[in-house]
Amino acid sequence: MLAKAAASFGVLAEGRLVLGVGGGAYPDAIASIGGRRRSGGETVAFTEESLHVLRAALAGDAVRLISDHHRIEGYQAGPVPPAPVPLWLGAMWRRMLGVTGRAADGWISPLDIYVAPDEVPAKQKIIDEAALEAGRDPRRIRRAYNVLGAIGPFRGGRGLVGDARLWADTLTEWAIELGLDTFIYWPVTEPRTQLEAFAAEVVPTVREQVGLIRGTR
């Protein structure tokens, strides 16, 4: 069902779609709507297998798979998006980070208040090692960081709080020092105004600064 929905949206969005998925951190909630309640190890194995199923289905391939985790008796794929749909995996712990390296196109880190910047390199290393062991190039795996906070004069907020210059300099540092290439902003106040400030004042400066440091501008 997810592959069908994503494929349809990929067509409507003319290929501008990235699909972020996770193993499911709430087994009771999943079971309450008819899903299977899985243990931690089962969830990891299920997620890895699911990524391969999604990739095949989104590419337009017929899928037939009978395993401990899936019973797919003949999925007829379609529609096929005009561009491949990257699969980014939300992961925090070692086993799921390994799945990211072996099978995902990108890593989505939890919020910066849950995975602090100084914890990122160790998690990146797990992803890189898993990718290399699977014969994949770690550089092809995108790295996204969820950032909570507020831009401008705001008090009492958690996460990154300060003016646009502080935001731009901090994200530039994280991009260069931590190897992150994507930032997802979670404003703690006035979402529309904050996202407009992020897009207009922070993003262009970060791109320019990172480009200058890396010699691409």
pLDDT in tens, 1-56: 899 999 999 999 998 999 999 987 788 888 898 888 888 889 999 999 999 999 99
pLDDT at position 100 over 80: yes
Contact yes or no for 34/86 (Cβ under 8 A): no
| Contacts (Cβ under 8 Å, ≥6 apart) of 46 | 23, 38, 69
* pLDDT given at position 157: 77
The neighbour count for residue 103, using CB atoms within 10 Å, is 21
Report pTM: 0.92
* pLDDT given at position 97: 98
The neighbour count for residue 5, using CB atoms within 10 Å, is 10
Alpha carbons 162 and 157: distance in angstroms, whole number: 10
Task: Determine whether 67 is exposed, middle or buried from the number of CB atoms within 10 Å of its CB (0-12, 13-18, 19+).
Answer: exposed
> pLDDT-based confidence at 207, cuts 50/70/90?
very high
Alpha carbons 202 and 165: distance in angstroms, whole number: 7
Torsion of CA 189, 193, 199, 200, to 10 degrees: -130
Alpha carbons 89 and 103: distance in angstroms, whole number: 9
Alpha carbons 121 and 217: distance in angstroms, whole number: 26
Average pLDDT score over residue span 133-138: 98
Average pLDDT score over residue span 186-200: 97
* pLDDT given at position 26: 82
pLDDT at position 115 over 70: yes
- DSSP 8-state class, residue 70: -
Give yes or no for a cis peptide into 79 (omega within 30° of 0): yes
> pLDDT-based confidence at 85, cuts 50/70/90?
very high
Average pLDDT score over residue span 165-169: 98
Alpha carbons 21 and 19: distance in angstroms, whole number: 6
Contact yes or no for 162/171 (Cβ under 8 A): no
Alpha carbons 183 and 203: distance in angstroms, whole number: 9
Torsion of CA 76, 48, 136, 77, to 10 degrees: 10
Task: Determine whether 32 is exposed, middle or buried from the number of CB atoms within 10 Å of its CB (0-12, 13-18, 19+).
Answer: exposed
Pair of tokens at residue 48? 């890895």
Dihedral sign for Cα atoms in the order 97, 101, 104, 107: positive
* pLDDT given at position 217: 64
Instruction: Give 99 or 1, the one with higher predicted confidence.
Output: 99
Instruction: Give 215 or 216, the one with higher predicted confidence.
Output: 215
* pLDDT given at position 68: 92
- Calculate Rg over the CA atoms of the chain: 19
* pLDDT given at position 155: 83
